[in-house]
Structure 1
Amino acid sequence: MISQECRAGAVAVNAGNVVYEILGEKGDLIALTPGGRFGKDVPGLRPLAEALTEGGYRVLLWDRPNCGASDVQFYGHSESHMRAETLRGLLSALGFEQCILAGGSGGARDSMLTAMLYPELVTKLVVWNIVGGVYGMYQLGAFYVLPSIQAVRFSGIEGLLKVPEWRDRIAENPNNRQRFLALDAAAFLTVMMRWLNAFVPKPGQTIPGVDDEMFNRIKVPTLIIRGGENDWDHPKRTSLEVSCLIKGAELIDPPWPEDAWERAAEDRAAGKVAHFNLFDTWVQAAPAILDFLDS
């Protein structure tokens, strides 16, 4: 196992540095993953991590590729496929043979896909705010992929340097500027079109870019916190369908208000981020997660 002295830093995985941090002194490891392209320091994530460490676990927080201070990377069937491969490499580099996977929103998808592709790594799985549905999938493609495609089509690779999201990645990690400039425009667009296609709703794909039959590979105990009643991004229906696809999965009601995500999104749109962040309610899931993990 990793020594206690090496509790934070960066390791190279698939030719890109991945920034990580480990909380807690002992216990089984939980790899905790947030949503979107948010990094490990996004408000709301650390309180949940700290609550889990107080429950007797260690928690791995990590900046996925294209998040936080890690290096940008662009390959794979989808961005979640790339992240799953990266997580496997990160765990191996840190000396962990197995762990518990936990994540919300995009982190739920990343965690489920990791459990599908690398089942030998996973002992238990906990997911919430699962993205699905026509609106949720198109929204992700439009928000995370289309701006990059349009920037390169109209301004070449240098156009990526003007995309607000990528400006943030360069600000947190100046090495990313050269990583962008070194990209081949045609090859980058090929990857982006593949990533965009993953977000096009298709029969037999309850979550973006993943065939439903892949859920048969998840055989570990699984806890699903269902989506809110009126959550357009993480529909209640999607979490119910996923609970049917993972044999033996336990489905529970959300410990936060049914409209928590919608209200947080409204506050964020109104510029009230300091008042209410998207992941502020996640710590409320700690008791349920700990009960499940300890059972």
Structure 2
Amino acid sequence: MARIQLDGVGLEYELVGPSDGPPVVLTPGGRYSKDIPGIPQLAQLLAERGLRVLTWDRPNCGKSDLHFEGASESGMQAQFLVKLIHALDIGPATLVAGSAGARISLLAAHEDPDAVAKMMLCWISGGLVSMMRLGSYYCCEPAEVAALQGMAAVAEMPIWQQQIEDNPRNRDYMLGYEPEQFIAVMERWAWGFVPATDTPVGNWTDADFSRLTMPVAILRGSPRDLYHPGQVCEQVAERLPNAQLVDPPWDIDIFAERMRDGKGLFSDFPMLADQIAQFVGS
């Protein structure tokens, strides 16, 4: 494990694999840490295949610091991903990500295309139901608790417990906000989940998609996945100039299955090892 300070924000990360191997960055979704089951195992498998693999705790995740800045949470995390790639001198890197991690990777590639060699993405969030649910969970519910009960109650919400347990300074950071300040942050971040009717990702235009000229492999999704509808993956693949849809090594309904059985949303990611290694080497 290692820690780095970037613009005053502490980030936990780990690098495994040969120092001269092609660099790969793994980013899970939600506010899950880099240690969520499946991600460390995938990193080790890729390292055994000669790749240099970075796993990291995004701001507001795991042992990294809380950081309530930026126009959107995903956009802020994308900016820190680019800064981390440069600080560790591992660019251009292949970004491998799922769910919120896929959104962050797209934004990072848009922020600095030269830092990204390729991307392999799955479970791209989109659609009205998905965005309304995610915006409510990540922004509206914490704002409501702050308004009705204050910041001490926000710090007790389950969504923040791992971050505070793993990094007790995060509680002090959170309590340093007045409810009105925190509500303003949540209001601002909630706009990042408001879907447009004519584009699958945020408010991206054709010009935004055209910036991402690197090879992109997008794993097919399921039409039954309300959080990451399969058609969103298809629409993103259609708009990117150098993207292809590929079959995942699992059943396309695996996300819903893992939601039901509680085995861990990323527990199947080690199955991607060979596919990633081949993609990086192609």
TM-score by length of 2: 0.94
Equivalent residue, structure 2, for 1:120: 114
Aligned-residue offset at 1:204: 3.1
1:275-286 → structure 2 map (5 Å cutoff): 276-286=263-273
Normalised to the residue count of structure 1, the TM-score between the two structures is 0.90
Q: Distance in 1 between matches of 2:182 and 2:198?
A: 28
Q: What residue number does 1:89 align with?
A: 83
Q: Does 1:22 align with 2:9?
A: no
Deviation per CA, 1:114-160, whole angstroms, max 9, x where unpaired?
00111121111111111111121112112211221012111232232
Unpaired runs of 5+ in structure 1? Answer: 1-7, 269-275
State the 1:211 CA deviation: 4.6
**Match 1:153 to one of 144, 147, 159:** 147
| CA displacement 1:253-274 (0-9 Å, x = unmatched) | 2220122111110112xxxxxx
Amino acid at match of 2:272: A
Partner of 1:110: 104
Distance 2:203 2:50 in 1: 35
1:204 equivalent among 178, 181, 198: 198
Letter in 2 for 1:148: P
Aligned length: 281
In the alignment, structure 1 residue 221 sits paired with structure 2 residue 215: yes
> Do the aligned residues in 1 keep the contact of 2:213 with 2:240 (CA within 8 Å)?
yes
Tell me which residue corresponds to 2:6.
Answer: 13
Equivalent in the alignment of 1:233: 227
Gapped runs of 5+ residues in structure 2? none
Of residues 115-124 and 94-103 in structure 1, the stretch that sits farther from structure 2 once superposed is: 94-103
SS at 1:238 equivalent: helix
Deviation of 1:91 after TM superposition, in Å, equals 2.1
**Runs of 4 or more consecutive aligned structure 1 residues displaced over 3 Å after TM superposition:** 208-213
The correspondence for 1:288, drawn from 255, 275, 282, is 275
3-state DSSP of counterpart to 1:223: strand
Aligned pairs for 1:39-188 (under 5 A) are: 39-188=33-182
Q: For residues 282 and 209 of structure 1, do their structure 2 counterparts lie closer, same or farther at Cα, with a shift above 3 Å needed?
A: farther
Tell me which amino acid in the other structure corresponds to 1:223: A
User: Quick one: distance in 1 between partners of 2:170 and 2:205?
Assistant: 33
| CA positional deviation for 1:170 | 1.0
64-73 or 139-148: bigger deviation: 139-148
Residue-by-residue CA offset, 1:68-121 (whole Å, 9 max, x unaligned): 011101111211110011112222222334211111111111111100111121
Contact 1:40 1:68 in 2 (8 A): yes
Supply the AA of the counterpart residue of 2:161. Answer: R
Q: What is the alpha-carbon distance in structure 2 between the residues aligned to residue 114 and residue 255 of structure 1?
A: 26
